[in-house]
Amino acid sequence: GESVGLHLPTLSVQEGDNSIINCAYSNSASDYFIWYKQESGKGPQFIIDIRSNMDKRQGQRVTVLLNKTVKHLSLQIAATQPGDSAVYFCAETPFSGGYNKLIFGAGTRLAVHP
Amino acid sequence: DAGVTQSPTHLIKTRGQQVTLRCSPKSGHDTVSWYQQALGQGPQFIFQYYEEEERQRGNFPDRFSGHQFPNYSSELNVNALLLGDSALYLCASSLVVGASEAFFGQGTRLTVV
């Protein structure tokens, strides 16, 4: 299928290393932030989320950090695997509930090399 | 449990034609949102439906319209297609209350020639 991120910035890492993907968001009123993973030919897949009253949240091999002072979000992936290769998008939304829309960032391509 | 399903997966249309894309939300979800994703870019919000009404709309012209049915499934209609409408169209479903995680379908790749 066609590539999702032909012109996106690329982060290249070695298998087993830790990856850090960064994102700057635009709306200081955003209440809820999400990281999505998108593989070629597929729709975005939810990875992890965080609310604005938190600064860190951990999942399985992933950690999201939120710095509201500088409107910065990061996704840390531990022990990166070839299956992590994809395009990663951060998204923000004003409300943690319904009647919201997701505002996506530009995306970063993660390339994992053996 | 089926996730979000979209049809068709690929579609080729001619400029000026009209197209209808379809989406079935994840079981138990009542809210459907549509996004347009141009090649190499993040998805852009088109609109959102809940209780068969359009609740929010992004910056898209009136050529883009939608509908939600009583069973929560949804359609996206685009009239007078332009070359620039070529994109991946994504449907996402969620619950209006409670958990706000949105689940995406695999998308419909629309090519306008």
Specify the range with the lowest mean pLDDT, choosing from A16-30, B51-65, B97-111. Answer: B97-111
Range name among A100-104, B4-8, B44-48 with the lowest pLDDT average: A100-104
What one-character-per-residue DSSP string does A19-79 give? EEEEEE---TT--EEEEEEE-TTS--EEEEEEETT-SEEE-SSEEEEEETTTTEEEEEESS
Residues of A in contact with B37 (CB under 8 A): 4
Tell the CATH topology of A4-113: Immunoglobulin-like (2.60.40)
**Cross-chain Cβ contact A43/B50 below 8 Å:** no
**Which candidate, B31, B5, B17, places its Cα nearest to that of B108?**
B5
Instruction: Give the tokens for residue A5.
Output: 């991120």
A10 touches chain B (CB under 8 A): no
Residue A32's pLDDT is what?
Answer: 86
pLDDT at A93 over 90: no
- Which DSSP symbol is given to A84? G
Interface check for B92 against chain A (CB to CB < 8 A): the answer is yes
Is B31 part of the contact surface with chain A (CB cutoff 8 Å)?
A: yes
Whether A97 has a pLDDT exceeding 70, the answer reads no
pLDDT at residue A6 is higher than 60: no
Give me the half-sphere count of Cα atoms (radius 13 Å) on the Cβ side of residue B90: 26
Examine the pLDDT at A7 and tell me if it is beyond 80: no
CA distance readout (Å), B100 to A64, A65, A94, B20: 17, 19, 12, 27
Whether B40 sits inside 8 A of A49 (CB atoms) is no
The residue extents of the domains of chain A are 4-113
- Residues A34-87 have pLDDT tens digits of 999 999 989 999 999 999 999 999 999 999 999 999 999 999 999 999 999 999
Cβ–Cβ < 8 Å for B66, B47: yes
Q: For residue A3, what pLDDT is reported? A: 41
